[in-house]
Amino acid sequence: MKTALITGGARGIGRAIGLELAARGVNVAFCYRTSEAAARETETALAAQGARGLGVRANVGDPEQVEELFATVERELGSPDALIHAAGPYHRVDVMKETPEGWRTMLGENLDSFFYCARRAAPAMIERKWGRIIAFSMANADRAGAQPGVTAHYVAKVGVLVLARTLARALAPHGITVNTIAPGFIASGSAPPEELEKMVKTIPAGHLGELRDAVAAARFLLSEDARYVNGSNIISSGGWGL
């Protein structure tokens, strides 16, 4: 693997995975929407690991911006050998108070974005007969249960599972694996600390997850050890949601 593209890679889980890959000699491109300062700091941190880092501003819920993102990455670093789709906004809104704009944002930037990025990454992977695609769902999305407080986000993450499995089946003959990671409550900076702390009592393991837990799952799925793992979902939740 020479180049990885991480959506939502300026902060949190995406950034942590990028630093892990850079330490292993992989050039890392990532995109961000608003975190300009964090993006520049992440570029510096990637370079300090000895790899090339490239941050590009892009809303991957927009197919035109996805095309521009890939064109920039291909020009600067080459076509990605691996796509890690970590972008995905989150909000907590009661289903009866959700707005059309909020609904569309959750689906567009969590699910549509994965489709746009995967279909753009796949042709070059097919040509080289090797590729790794990882998307992030959420713990218990595989149960497709009722989630009245986070409905739009949850529906999008259920869709991510279905899309990933479908892509896995379609791309497996070309040496490409497509898998998902479904984190539970991980202290990644994406949710308010006080909200996370309230959830600790619901986690059988008795503590929050750390960035290293998500990184470990990604490290495995990107490796040759996982060459026969396709269409799978790794739940990293300390038992939450079981």
CATH of the domain at 218: 3.40.50.720
The secondary structure of residue 232, as a DSSP letter, is: -
For the entire predicted model, the pTM comes to 0.95
Cα–Cα distance between 48 and 23 in angstroms, integer? 9
- pLDDT tens-digit readout, 39-77: 999 999 999 998 999 999 999 999 999 999 999 999 999
Averaged pLDDT score across all residues of the chain:
95
pLDDT at 85: 98
Q: Does residue 227 fall inside a structural domain?
A: yes
Q: How many distinct structural domains can be found in the chain? A: 1
pLDDT at 205: 95
Residue 35 pLDDT > 90 = no
Q: Does residue 241 fall inside a structural domain?
A: no
> How many Cβ atoms are within 10 Å of 122's Cβ, its own excluded?
19
Cα–Cα distance between 238 and 63 in angstroms, integer? 35
Residue 31 pLDDT > 80 = yes
Three-state DSSP class for residue 181: strand
pLDDT at 130: 98
pLDDT at 1: 72
Residue 189 pLDDT > 80 = no
Cα–Cα distance between 125 and 92 in angstroms, integer? 36
Containing domain of residue 83, as a range?
3-236
For residues 126-139, average pLDDT: 97
DSSP 41-70: HHHHHHHHTTS-EEEEE--TTSHHHHHHHH
- pLDDT tens-digit readout, 192-213: 777 788 889 999 999 999 999 9
Rg (CA), the chain: 17
* Comparison of pLDDT for 34 and 81, the residue scoring more: 81
